[in-house]
Amino acid sequence: MKQHILVIGAGFGGMWTALSATRLFDIHGHNDVEVTVLAPQAELRVRPRFYEPNAHQLAAPIGELFDAVGVKFIKGAAESIDVAQKRVGYVDASGNQQVCSYDKLVLATGSRLALPNTPGVVEHAFDVDQIEQAVRLENHLKSLVNLPESKARNTVVVAGGGFTGIETATEMPGRLRAILGDRAGIEVIIVDRGEKVGGSMGDEIAKSIAEASIETGVKWRLKSSVVAVDDSGVTLADGQRIDAKTVIWTTGVRASSLTEQIPAERDHLGRLHVDAHLKVIGQEDIFATGDVACAASDDIGNFALMTCQHAISLGRHAGNNVAAQILGVDPTPYSQPKYVTCLDLGAWGAVYTEGWDRQVKLIKAEAKALKTQINTTWIYPPAADRVTALASADPMIPVA
Ligand SMILES: Cc1cc2nc3c(=O)[nH]c(=O)nc-3n(C[C@H](O)[C@H](O)[C@H](O)COP(=O)(O)OP(=O)(O)OC[C@H]3O[C@@H](n4cnc5c(N)ncnc54)[C@H](O)[C@@H]3O)c2cc1C
């Protein structure tokens, strides 16, 4: 009987896992293994772009790609993992409970914004974590034009001044002007616990963030946090209030809760600890990749972050190594010593950095051109052509 690799998740980690495993079987002329991807949609949802307008367009179909390389796709959402019986329970497209057996499992179910229990956040705040939430925000922004002119209507509060908060906020003045007109008195305010604008991102990049914030008109409330949200604004820890019809929450991402069903060590973000081959430590037949994996990215103490940059490479390695285990050939240890950042800063441009200390290499239009290339080309799936797709899944291809 054919062996079966089941990949749960069709994001950057899952899609590249399926392609990379198929590539290694192809190289070894081995066609006795079935590779299946289980996910709610046969599409790659391009999460790094969800701060942009037209969110509904930010997904790329991958059904034809999987057909071209012979990967089977099951439309469904996994609910349970029975490690002892090697079975995954899922809800299929018709809402029925189903079970799928595996010989090797690769968990690639990504991460989710973990909303805090701050009063009113769940009911009133927006976010850009998943495509549905990004579309909901967009519809809300478009509906603001139907409200009478007021300070609250024209004000957006972004909770959290990290990567996603900064990209969302600096894009917002342009998005609001397109909806409310150039004469509207727009205010975009980032509320952040830090002491310095962009401080959590590093000293050098912070200078670009500060400059871009001034030029785009984004204000910062530092050493501050939102303690309550309601339908017309936020209350800060010091009791001050900001009237705002739009509050966007950007703090606190956590690995998919399916990680909890695998008996293994997890880190503070819920990610499964994996070895250099991305096998979950203590589990012989389970691999983890992308945002659900806590993987050392070099041998000097750095770990993969929950980024697309890491998820693509982690996916190519997980697929290669799960296939290598079946084939009995040498795996390719995961290593990604180069770390870069390309942060969109709205109308100011962008900033591109290299190294874990984020040394600035490009700013403004030059960095923006790079960001556009990354976001519209590099992170998209390969063409639905077997030879091209398998060649592009080589784990040795550098991502950054
Ligand atoms: C607004 C925003 C901006 C970002 N900007 C950047 C950036 O500039 N650079 C960068 O490198 N990274 C960025 N990221 C992070 C990046 O998007 C993630 O790290 C990346 O998407 C992780 O890939 P993944 O495959 O692990 O998870 P995901 O891309 O989240 O994919 C998870 C997959 O699992 C599926 N799934 C989930 N649950 C189940 C289930 N129960 N059953 C079956 N399938 C399931 C999902 O449908 C999806 O197919 C950004 C993220 C956001 C939200």
> Per residue of the chain (400 residues), what is the pLDDT tens digit?
799 999 999 999 999 999 999 999 999 999 999 999 999 999 999 999 999 999 999 999 999 999 999 999 999 999 999 999 999 999 999 999 999 999 999 999 999 999 999 999 999 999 999 999 999 999 999 999 999 999 999 999 999 999 999 999 999 999 999 999 999 999 999 999 999 999 999 999 999 999 999 999 999 999 999 999 999 999 999 999 999 999 999 998 999 999 999 999 999 999 999 999 999 999 999 999 999 999 999 999 999 999 999 999 999 999 999 999 999 999 999 999 999 999 999 999 999 999 999 999 999 999 999 999 999 999 999 999 999 999 999 999 999 7
Cα–Cα distances in angstroms (integers) from residue 207 to residues 131, 162, 210, 309, 386, in the given order: 31, 14, 5, 24, 45
Minimum-distance ligand 1 atom for the alpha carbon of 292: 26
Q: Name the maximum alpha-carbon separation found in the chain.
A: 69
Cα–Cα distances in angstroms (integers) from residue 269 to residues 259, 273, 355, in the given order: 11, 11, 23
Measured by CA distance, the residue closest to atom 24 of ligand 1 is 110
Work out how many domains the chain is built from and give that number. 2
**Residue 163 corresponds to which amino acid?**
F
Q: Which residues line ligand 1 (CB under 6 A)?
A: 8-14, 38-40, 47-48, 50-51, 77-78, 108-111, 128-129, 164, 256, 258, 290-291, 306-309, 311
Query: First CA to last CA across the chain, in angstroms?
Result: 40
User: Of 224, 249, 274, which closes a domain?
Assistant: 249
| Bridge partners, residue 346, by sequence | none
Give the CATH number, domain containing residue 150.
3.50.50.60
Q: Tell me: the pLDDT tens digits for 36-87?
A: 999 999 999 999 999 999 999 999 999 999 999 999 999 999 999 999 999 9
Residue 1: what pLDDT? 79
Residue 297's SS3 state is coil
Residue 230's SS3 state is strand
Does some domain include residue 371? no
Does some domain include residue 372? no
Query: Ligand 1: which of 12, 51, 260 to mutate, most ligand atoms within 8 Å of CB?
Result: 12
Question: From ligand 1's centre to the CA of 174, what distance in Å?
Answer: 26
Helical spans, DSSP H, in 235-335: 308-327
| Bridge partners, residue 157, by sequence | 189, 247
DSSP state of 40: S
The Cα 138–Cα 51 span in angstroms is 10
Minimum-distance ligand 1 atom for the alpha carbon of 250: 1
- In terms of C-beta density within 10 A (0-12 exposed, 13-18 middle, 19 or more buried), how is residue 357 classed? exposed
> 44 and 12 in contact (C-beta within 8 Å)?
yes
The Cα 105–Cα 88 span in angstroms is 9
Does some domain include residue 373? no
Which of 293-318 are b and which e, b meaning 16 or more Cβ less than 10 Å from the residue's Cβ?
bbbbbeeeeeebbbbbbbbbbbbbbb
Residues 82 and 132 placed together within one structural domain of the fold = no
Cβ count near 182 (within 10 Å): 7
User: Of 249, 284, 319, which closes a domain?
Assistant: 249
Give the residue among 149, 237, 233, 231 at the shortest CA–CA distance from 192. Answer: 237
- Structure tokens that stand for 332 in this block: 């390719």
Question: From ligand 1's centre to the CA of 43, what distance in Å?
Answer: 12
Does some domain include residue 360? no
Residues 126 and 238 placed together within one structural domain of the fold = yes
- Model pTM score: 0.98
Residues 217 and 259 placed together within one structural domain of the fold = no
Question: 298 lies in which domain range?
Answer: 3-113+253-338+384-391
> 73 and 42 in contact (C-beta within 8 Å)?
yes
